[in-house]
Structure 1
C-alpha cells in the first residue's frame, strides 16, 4: 500500500474530531497500525467534543461509563453514570497517557475535503486559529465528528416564544453566568437532557417544571449495584473491570432484546419500576405512558433515582400537554392551564448533521451524503478511503466507535498486505434492483425524524444493513467479510 511519507502536513491518516471517537481511533491506530502516521484535527480549543461543548447543569453520561469509557483504559470510579467534568478529565488523561494528545491540532477547522482519484489522496482545506489557511493531505480519512450540529440547535416552533420577557435558554449553549436561584423554571422537553437538568436545577431554583408534549421512559439505575459490589469484594482488581464491563454490555443487550420481542411485558416492567417512585401529586398516566414501545426512542436513565427524588421533594413537577402560546410572562397550554416561569429551557433535541458540515467532494464533484448507503455501518457508498463513526442508540456510543475503529484498522492492514491503495464501497446492479431502504438509526425520536434528509441510508440486506448490536459488530470487525460490495484497487 503506497502510503505517503513526509511532506508538509501530509499523513497516512487524518482523523477529524478529537472527541471520544477520535481519541479511540488514535489509540487503535497506534496499537494496530504503528507504521502509519496520523493527525487529529479539531476546530475547538480542547478535546472532548460533547463533553467540552455542553455545560448545562448536571451534564452527565446517558449510558454507563464501564462501556462508554475506553476498553483499553478502564473506568475505575465506583459509579456507572458520571458527570461531564469527570468524563472530560478521563478523556484528557487517557489521551495524555498514550501520547494521543501530541497528535491533536486544536483550532483547526476543516472546511472542505476533496478526494483525487488520480493521486489516491485526500486534500483538506483548513482554517487554523480562525485566520490562517492550511492544506492537509492524507491517504485515508476518519470522520469522528459526531452526529449533530455544534453551532446550531434543533429549531422547534413554539408559538409566541419570542414574546417571552424572561430568559430563553437552549442547553447546547448554556450561559455560564445564568442565575436561576429562587426562579421558576420551565423545561420544554422530556428527553435525557431534561431528565438531567430537572434534578440539578431543582436544588437551587424555586421550582422546576418539565413540560412535555409526550413522555419518555425513565429508568432509575444505582451508582453501584449489588453485583458490582460483589465483584469488587471478591475478585482481584485485574478482573474487576473486565467483569463489570461485560455485565454492562450483557444486561442492557438482554433488556433491549426482551423489550423488542415482548413489548407489552416491557411496558409493564417499566411501569412496575416507575410507579413506586412517584409522589402522590404526580400521576403515572399520562405523565409516564409513552405512545411507543421501550427503546423505540432512547430510554432515559437517572442515577440513584435523582429525577424521582426531585419530584418527591416538591421542588420539581411534570406537566404533560401542548403549548398553545407563550406570552410575555406565561406559558399557556391547550388544556387551559398556565405556567408562569422566569426562565424557559428549550431542551427539544439536537440538529442532526453528518461529517461536521464539511464540504466533501470526489474529483471536484460534490458528494451528497443523504443519497448514499452505509457499508457495514462504517463506510459510505462511492466514497473512497473514508470511514465515519456512528454509534448505537440503545448502548454506549463508544462500543460502536470501537467496533468501527477495529474494522478500519484491520482493513488498513489488509490494504498494505495486498498492495492496495484505494477501497471504495459500491452497489452492484443486482443490489440496486432488489434491496429496500431501512432506517440507519432504530429510533422514532423527533430529532431523528427531522434529520432523515441529512443522514445516509441503510438497506434491508447484504453489507448495507444498519449496525445491529455490539457482539455481532465485534465479530465482524475481526473475522467478517471485508471484500463484498467494495472495490479493492491497486494503482
Structure 2
C-alpha cells in the first residue's frame, strides 16, 4: 500500500505513521461500499483494500453455479449512492458484477485494491494506535501493511469450506458430487439425471436453471421451505424511470421496497397464519394440479427462516413442464447409482448437488489480536451493530437476516465515517466501545431464525444484549435513524490517544 497519510491528531498524541488511514478487507459489496463512502464523507482519509481473490465481487465472484442471482431486489441490494439501472430488479450474478465493476472504475477505486492477498493476521498496538495486518499471496509469501482503522467487509461465511452434511455411503456413488460453493468450470450436465439436496435459495435457483438442459432434476428436501413469488422486473420502478431522473426513480423505489420488506416481516411475526394463507394460495395458483401440500407446507412460520424468492415462478414452471420434481424424504444412504431414501424410494442420479448450506465465520476467520491478546469474538458484545466491546478502531459488516445485505453495509459505512470525522474534530487517535462490566448486560439471542447455518454457528458469534447499543438489531428502519442521527460521542464510545508503553497492558486488562 502506498502513502503515509494519517489522521489529524493533537500535538500530544504519539500515534505512529501508517500506510493508510483505513484498511478495508474484502472487495465485495461491503468493501466497495465503504470505499465510496470514505470518498464521499471523508475525502481527506487515505484507504486501501485487500482482496484474497484475483478479482472483485466477493460472493458474486465466488459463486458460479447455474442461475446464480440475487435473493433480494436490487433497489435495496444496490447501494444508496448508485442507482440500479437494469430492467430486472432480481438480477443475475454477471449483472451484479457489472454493477460493482462500473462503480469501482468510475470512482477510481481499483487503484486502491491489492488483489491476491489473503489476510492471515491483524494486530493492534495501543502504544502506536495502529493495526499491523499480515497478508499472504498465492505462493505463500507474506507482507504487512499498517492502518489506523481496520474495516472488515469479508462477509459472514467460510470461503474455504462449505457446510458438508454427512451422508452414509457417499464414497459409493459412481457419479459426480458437486457443492454449489465450488462449482466446476464448464461443467457439462446436459442430458443428465440430477438430484439437488436442499430446499433453500441456492437449490431453488439451481433447479430451474439446470432443468433447461438436464434430463430431469429432482430437488430432495428434508423439510419444506416458504416461497415467495414475485416478478423479476419491478414494474413500478421501470414506470418511474420513464418520467423521472434515474436517481429520483431509484430513491422512490428503494423507499417503497424498504417499507414493504419491513411491513411483510412484521406481519409474518404478528399474524403468521395470515401470511401462511397468502403464500400458500400463491403457490397453489402457480402450480395448479402439481401442488403437493406435503412438499410446500413447512413446519415453521414464515420468516422463522428467510423467505425464499422465486422470480417469475421459474422453479414452479420447471415442475409444471415435468423437468423438475420435489421429493420430501430423509436420506438413508448413497449407493452406486443414486440415493436410497428412508421411505424405500430410490432416486437415480448421474450428478448429486449438495446445496446443504454455508458455514458461518466471524471476522473472516482472521486471528485478531489486541496488544498481543487473541480476540475471542464469542466473549465480546456487538456495539452499534458494527463494532465490538473493548476492541479499538475496528468495524465489520454483518448484513440483515430479514432484509438486503447492502442496507446494513450502507449505514455502517456512513456511521464509521461519522466516527472518523468526530475523531478528527477532537484530535483523537483511538475510538473504543468501552464495556467495563459485561455482567451488567442481559444477553439475548437475536438470531431467532431456525435456519441451519445460523443455528450451527451460534457458538462462535459475538454476544447480543437485550438493548442498544450492545446488540445486532434486525430493524433497518430504526437502525438508519439511530446510525445517522444518534450522538457519536454517546458516553460509551471512548475517544483517546496512543498509550505510552507502560500503560497499554494495564488499560487493556482493566477493560476486560
- TM-score (normalised: structure 2): 0.92
Are 2:328 and 1:328 equivalent residues in the alignment? no
Residues in 2 aligned to 1:344 and 1:481: alpha-carbon distance in whole angstroms: 53
Residue 196 of structure 1: aligned partner = 205
Q: Report the CA distance between 1:405 and its aligned residue.
A: 0.4
Gaps of 5+ in 2: 1-6, 499-512
Task: Determine if contact 1:48/1:88 at 8 Å carries over to the other structure.
Answer: yes
Match of 2:86 among 71, 77, 99: 77
Residue 205 of structure 1: aligned partner = 214
Give SS of 2:43's match.
coil
Q: Report the CA distance between 1:2 and its aligned residue.
A: 4.6
Q: Report the CA distance between 1:280 and its aligned residue.
A: 2.0
Match of 1:240 among 235, 243, 249: 249
Task: Determine if contact 2:29/2:406 at 8 Å carries over to the other structure.
Answer: yes
Give SS of 1:361's match.
strand
Residue 261 of structure 1: aligned partner = 270
Task: Determine if contact 1:114/1:362 at 8 Å carries over to the other structure.
Answer: yes
Q: Report the CA distance between 1:234 and its aligned residue.
A: 4.4
Gaps of 5+ in 1: none
Aligned residues: 488
Residues in 2 aligned to 1:448 and 1:176: alpha-carbon distance in whole angstroms: 29
1:403-418 residue pairs with structure 2 within 5 A?
403-418=411-426
Residue 104 of structure 1: aligned partner = 113
Residues in 2 aligned to 1:177 and 1:400: alpha-carbon distance in whole angstroms: 35
- TM-score (normalised: structure 1): 0.96
1:1-400 residue pairs with structure 2 within 5 A?
2=8, 10-283=19-292, 285-400=293-408
Residue 452 of structure 2: aligned partner = 446
Residues in 2 aligned to 1:8 and 1:169: alpha-carbon distance in whole angstroms: 48
> Larger deviation: 376-385 or 272-281?
272-281
Task: Determine if contact 1:110/1:125 at 8 Å carries over to the other structure.
Answer: yes
Give SS of 1:424's match.
strand
Give SS of 2:385's match.
coil
Residues in 1 aligned to 2:436 and 2:18: alpha-carbon distance in whole angstroms: 36
> Larger deviation: 15-24 or 296-305?
296-305
Match of 1:469 among 472, 475, 496: 475
Residue 492 of structure 2: aligned partner = 485
Task: Determine if contact 1:407/1:476 at 8 Å carries over to the other structure.
Answer: no
Q: CA RMSD in A?
A: 1.9
Task: Determine if contact 1:279/1:311 at 8 Å carries over to the other structure.
Answer: no
Residues in 2 aligned to 1:5 and 1:217: alpha-carbon distance in whole angstroms: 56
Change (3 A) 1:158 1:116: same
Are 2:467 and 1:426 equivalent residues in the alignment? no
Residues in 1 aligned to 2:17 and 2:245: alpha-carbon distance in whole angstroms: 49
Give SS of 1:110's match.
strand
